[in-house]
Chain A
Amino acid sequence: MTEPLLEARDLTKNYGTVEALRGASFTAYAGEVVSLIGDNGAGKSTLVKCMSGVEQPTGGTLLFDGKPITLSSPNDARDRGIETVFQDLAVAPDLDPAANMFLGREILKPGLLGRLGVLDKKAMRRQAVEHFTRFGATLQSIDVPIAALSGGQRQSVAVARSVAWASKLVFMDEPTAALGVVQRERVLDVIKRVRDEGIAVVLISHNMPEVLSVSDRVEVLRLGRRVARFKAAETTVEELVGAMTGALSQEDAA
């Protein structure tokens, strides 16, 4: 197999006396959807935070393109083309979708005006529309505040925004949790499209059928360690649940 794009080896993370990660490993390859599953408290969120620069692991190594890296902030991760869709949808509700998409990455007007910090709103709006259309986020209007959109549309904006900037890898923490059936299908569709562009997608989800339908591989976390790795096509919901609860374990997974 090819070299992993992102690899975590034996990560540990302690919050005071609590060990959230006890030597957790994880692998993601370019152009695949890999799901990270585990019961509540298994350490999924902590692991993702450590791999996206939000938190720093207490021990262990992170390899990106085969080279060891440290991510001291989310910006570090972003600079390497790693984006995250957070569970709680961090969008600015009073700004419109285009403004949200370009938040922190505004396009400035050329020349003197740009040096004064003047925004090129037209260019941002145009690119945002192109992008939203490409990823199937249908919005009636591009310049109403996000808060005026429905929950599903808000979610599509959050997903589309991260995907827009992810050139290598995107973490999605429960991206379909609050969605209806149609919106959920649409987000899963986006996930596949992103993968087809050669980007690695790491999906965190509790929905096993969804995990099996969209993933190429599944890695299972239990009590802060990786306990199993599956090819999605060769496994079942029962097997996944078994691994999550500890009924089943693979010797070589950790």
Chain B
Amino acid sequence: MTDTKTTLSKDLSAEERTPLLKRLTGANTLWIGLVLLVLVAVFGAIRPDAVFQVTTLQFLLAETAVLLVLAVGMTFVIITSGIDLSVGSVLVFASVTSALAMNKLSGGDATNAGWGVIACGLLVAVVSGAVWGLLNGLLISRAKIPPLIVTLGSFGAAQGAALLLNNGSNVSGIPDRLNRTFGSGTWFGIPNIVIVAAIVTAAGALLLSTTRFGRYTYAVGSNEEAARRVGISVRNHLTKVYLLAGTLAGLAGFMGNAFFRVAVVTGHETDNLNAIAAVVLGGTSIFGGMGSVLGTVFGVFIPAVLEKGLVIIGVREFWQPIAVAIVLVAAVWLDQTRRRARNQR
């Protein structure tokens, strides 16, 4: 392995790209993917009967789908060397406004509502998320307030606003049709909600790795001043990135409605931290400039697999956060060491 590596880097006729294999092994992503694979293999070896069951896997995927959508948006934010603490609250806000809107349109109870109402509900959720995202983005890029503070503010404000809207209680009356199709429906055994999350993730991955938008996201996180000097509008770009994160949080809120059949106002307080942990676990640098959506996918599933797996093999699930914490801190330490080694040249 080391042999092939050295020869490859030596005879790089400049036109050639570094071969795929070398690029993969050079990235954190591959190692994180391996960690995930090893986890699944270990749990699978201990209890193959319980782990490789269709329902177990379906549940694992469906429960993770909402977090995955949040984490895709978070990946962009963290690559710009920012942070978004508000995603969980924005999710709650969007799911409440969307449920209330659907109920309102159906005269109080949307349980039997049709696709028109559902489409309106989706629109309301996405727009609600987008508005919070835009607010975050404008405060960060125009008012120059640090992202940590801005989104800490909207974290509280969006949650408070959601509680105000329905006097602090959950909103029921989610259309049956929505739940049957997107909440519990499957397509060749794959939950539909997972397919939605997969499409969002694929779109996010393409946006980040193949487009100018993605390139600017890396550039802003890598060296904001350099980006500004080549004429990139850093302010507009940051606004768009937070807008994207908010919009995805809105969509996640709608997905939550479909899955849980109710707009819940509690239980999302740590979504932000879970999303950040997933992104960082996936090899995206908290210092900005580096990262990938694929890594985030692995990063989302590592805690989820740990949680499910520990329960299945009979270890108390309270070990899960401890295990995640260890992997997380190790991941950041690895990232820092790599950077330091690289920057010493």
Binding site for B on A (CB under 8 A): 74-75, 78, 86, 90-95, 99, 103-106, 108, 116-119, 121, 125-126, 129, 132-133, 139-145, 147-151
| Interfacial chain A residues near B221, Cβ < 8 Å | 94
Could you give, for residues 1-26 of chain B, a 1 whenever the CB lies within 8 Å of some chain A CB and a 0 otherwise?
Answer: 00000000110101101100001000
Could you give, for residues 198-220 of chain B, a 1 whenever the CB lies within 8 Å of some chain A CB and a 0 otherwise?
Answer: 00000000000011110100110
B232, A104: Cβ atoms closer than 8 Å: yes
Question: Please, which residue of chain A has its CB at the minimum distance from the CB of B289?
Answer: A94
**CB interface residues, B 129-151, toward A, < 8 Å:** none
A93, B219: Cβ atoms closer than 8 Å: no
The 6 closest A-B pairs by CB, nearest first: A104-B230, A94-B289, A90-B226, A92-B222, A94-B222, A117-B211
Task: Give chain B nearest CB distance to A100 CB in angstroms.
Answer: 8
Indicate if B270 sits at the interface (CB-CB under 8 A). Answer: no
Cα distance A74–B218 when bound, in Å? 22
Task: Give chain B nearest CB distance to A140 CB in angstroms.
Answer: 6
Question: Please, which residue of chain A has its CB at the minimum distance from the CB of B211?
Answer: A117
Knowing A74-B229, A141-B9 are in contact, say whether A103-B219 is a contact too (CB < 8 A).
yes
| Interfacial chain A residues near B342, Cβ < 8 Å | 145, 147-148
A91, B210: Cβ atoms closer than 8 Å: no
| Interfacial chain A residues near B226, Cβ < 8 Å | 90-92, 103
- The size class of the interface chain B forms with chain A is 20 to 34
Cα distance A150–B17 when bound, in Å? 20
| Interfacial chain A residues near B345, Cβ < 8 Å | 147-151
Interface centre among B14, B210, B225, B339 (most CB of A within 10 A): B14
| Interfacial chain B residues near A86, Cβ < 8 Å | 229
A119, B230: Cβ atoms closer than 8 Å: no
Partner of B14, one of A94, A119, A129: A129
A142, B289: Cβ atoms closer than 8 Å: no
| Interfacial chain A residues near B218, Cβ < 8 Å | 92, 94-95, 99
| Interfacial chain B residues near A118, Cβ < 8 Å | 210-211
Question: Please, which residue of chain A has its CB at the minimum distance from the CB of B287?
Answer: A94
A90, B229: Cβ atoms closer than 8 Å: yes
Knowing A93-B222, A95-B219, A103-B219 are in contact, say whether A75-B231 is a contact too (CB < 8 A).
yes
Indicate if B53 sits at the interface (CB-CB under 8 A). Answer: no
Indicate if B169 sits at the interface (CB-CB under 8 A). Answer: no
Indicate if B167 sits at the interface (CB-CB under 8 A). Answer: no
Task: Give chain B nearest CB distance to A88 CB in angstroms.
Answer: 8
Cα distance A239–B283 when bound, in Å? 57
| Interfacial chain B residues near A105, Cβ < 8 Å | 230
Question: Please, which residue of chain A has its CB at the minimum distance from the CB of B290?
Answer: A94
Knowing A86-B229, A92-B222 are in contact, say whether A142-B14 is a contact too (CB < 8 A).
yes
23 contacts between A and B (CB under 8 A): A78-B231, A86-B229, A92-B219, A92-B222, A92-B227, A92-B289, A95-B215, A95-B219, A103-B219, A104-B227, A104-B231, A106-B212, A118-B211, A129-B14, A132-B14, A140-B9, A141-B9, A141-B18, A142-B12, A142-B14, A143-B17, A147-B345, A150-B345
List 8 additional contacts besides A94-B218, A141-B18, A147-B345; criterion CB under 8 Å.
Answer: A92-B219, A103-B219, A108-B212, A139-B14, A140-B9, A140-B12, A141-B9, A148-B342
Task: Give chain A nearest CB distance to B343 CB in angstroms.
Answer: 6
Indicate if B223 sits at the interface (CB-CB under 8 A). Answer: yes
| Interfacial chain A residues near B215, Cβ < 8 Å | 95, 99, 103, 106, 119
B231, A119: Cβ atoms closer than 8 Å: no
Cα distance A245–B210 when bound, in Å? 54
| Interfacial chain A residues near B288, Cβ < 8 Å | 94
B212, A144: Cβ atoms closer than 8 Å: no
Could you give, for residues 314-344 of chain B, a 1 whenever the CB lies within 8 Å of some chain A CB and a 0 otherwise?
Answer: 0000000000000000000000000100110
Knowing A129-B15, A142-B14 are in contact, say whether A117-B229 is a contact too (CB < 8 A).
no
Cα distance A105–B219 when bound, in Å? 13
A90, B17: Cβ atoms closer than 8 Å: no
Partner of A95, one of B9, B14, B213, B222: B222
Cα distance A106–B232 when bound, in Å? 11
B9, A92: Cβ atoms closer than 8 Å: no
Question: Please, which residue of chain B has its CB at the minimum distance from the CB of A54?
Answer: B229
Task: Give chain A nearest CB distance to B26 CB in angstroms.
Answer: 9
Could you give, for residues 254-294 of chain B, a 1 whenever the CB lies within 8 Å of some chain A CB and a 0 otherwise?
Answer: 00000000000000000000000000000000001110000
Task: Give chain A nearest CB distance to B293 CB in angstroms.
Answer: 16
B231, A93: Cβ atoms closer than 8 Å: no
Partner of B223, one of A90, A117, A148: A90
| Interfacial chain B residues near A108, Cβ < 8 Å | 212
Knowing A74-B229, A94-B218, A94-B222 are in contact, say whether A133-B14 is a contact too (CB < 8 A).
yes
Cα distance A116–B210 when bound, in Å? 10
Question: Please, which residue of chain B has its CB at the minimum distance from the CB of A73?
Answer: B231
Task: Give chain A nearest CB distance to B209 CB in angstroms.
Answer: 9
Cα distance A144–B14 when bound, in Å? 12
Cα distance A90–B210 when bound, in Å? 23
A147, B225: Cβ atoms closer than 8 Å: no
A144, B18: Cβ atoms closer than 8 Å: yes
**CB interface residues, B 1-59, toward A, < 8 Å:** 9-10, 12, 14-15, 17-18, 23
